[in-house]
Amino acid sequence: MAKASHPLSETDRRIGAAMLASPRASWRTVGRVLGISERTVVRRAAPLFHDKTLRATAVRNPVWFPDLIPLALRIRCRPNQISAIAATLARRPDTVWVDILGGGDEICTILFLDGPDARNSLLLRDLPATPAVQSWTSHILLRVFPAAFDWSGGLLTEAELTSLRPELPAPATTTAAAARPSLQPLDHALITTLVEDGRASYADLARRADTTALTARRRLEALVAGQVVRLATEVDLARLGIRTEALLWITVAPGGLEETGRELSRHPQVRFASATTGSANLLVAVAAADLNALYHFLNDTIGALPHVSTIEVTPILSGVKRTGLVRAGSL
């Protein structure tokens, strides 16, 4: 059973929010943006990373890895077996996200499957052969909207977020495959290292990729600017005072999907948004301080969107795995 989590101090919460928004920000930058000394940031942040309250990683963008199939699964299970099924899914190296939903009989997981054979094995062999699994629906992630990637849980102001954003080269267009350069062996080595430690030093990156620190820095900046990878920080949001999370399965008129997805992805309570296949064509993950904040988001924000026709709200009871990292105490 997971241990009870206790909120961090206000300073620690703001440092954690800065790490969510900019996982590789320097301690000096974080201190300047938050109005505290660099020494204070180091003294407060180092223990948070040491005890794994904060964990830095990176997530690949399937657009750049054509063999990957990004799939969201909604799995209904026998309630007395749901923890075991969630744990089994979390142990898979191809799961990015595993949450227990609703009334305790449903799991949502996002997988980056290594091609059609892996997808078919999961859907046609593994799931049907699991007695505790009662039913499932699968949804391909068609487009992940990147505006939510510098999400801070609403704990930082827009000015603070702007100050944290690194000045990177403009990303290459993703509308034509020919416009994207092929990834080099160097890039794959850097990505592997970043998945293990999103805050690895340039010296460590250079050593693992057999290159110079300057080249490692330039290639990392190009990978991030081109949205080949997303740098991420994993933290139990309850430690930041964010205690209500939900997945929204939204049906949007086809002509308004891009506009609606982009608008929602910029909202401070939205940490993930993706266009999907299925009866609902937009999946949105929301994190709010409490139920009242979630209600106002649904009423005031979702209610004001012109292209939304229906919405299903599924509360998240437990986050088992996020950004490819298993939550401490969840297995």
Both tokens of 80, joined, read 């007395």
The count of domains in the chain is: 1
Q: What is each CA distance from 5 to 8, 54, 88, 239, 262, in whole angstroms?
A: 9, 13, 23, 6, 33
pLDDT at 177: 41
Supply the pTM of this predicted model. Answer: 0.89
Could you report how far apart the first and last alpha carbons of the chain are, in Å? 8
For residue 310, tell me if it sits in a domain. yes
Residue 286 structural domain:
240-317
Question: Tell me, what DSSP letter sits at residue 270?
Answer: E
For residue 244, tell me if it sits in a domain. yes
Nearest to 171 by CA among 91, 228, 256, 102: 228
For residue 269, tell me if it sits in a domain. yes
pLDDT at 190: 97
CATH number of the domain where residue 257 is located: 3.30.70.920
For residue 130, tell me if it sits in a domain. no
For residue 26, tell me if it sits in a domain. no
Query: Where do the H-state alpha helices sit in the chain?
Result: 10-21, 27-34, 38-50, 82-91, 116-121, 158-164, 185-196, 202-209, 213-225, 257-265, 291-296
pLDDT at 178: 41
For residue 289, tell me if it sits in a domain. yes
pLDDT at 331: 62
Look at residue 112 and give its three-state secondary structure.
strand
The amino acid at residue 94 is D
Q: Along the 331 residues of the chain, how does pLDDT read in single tens digits? A: 444 456 799 999 999 999 999 999 999 999 999 999 999 999 999 999 999 999 999 999 998 998 999 999 999 999 999 999 999 999 999 999 999 998 889 999 999 999 999 999 999 999 999 999 999 999 999 999 987 677 888 899 989 999 998 765 554 444 444 455 578 999 999 999 999 999 999 999 999 999 999 999 999 999 998 889 999 999 999 999 999 999 999 999 999 999 999 999 999 899 999 999 999 999 999 999 999 999 999 999 999 999 999 999 999 999 999 999 999 776 6
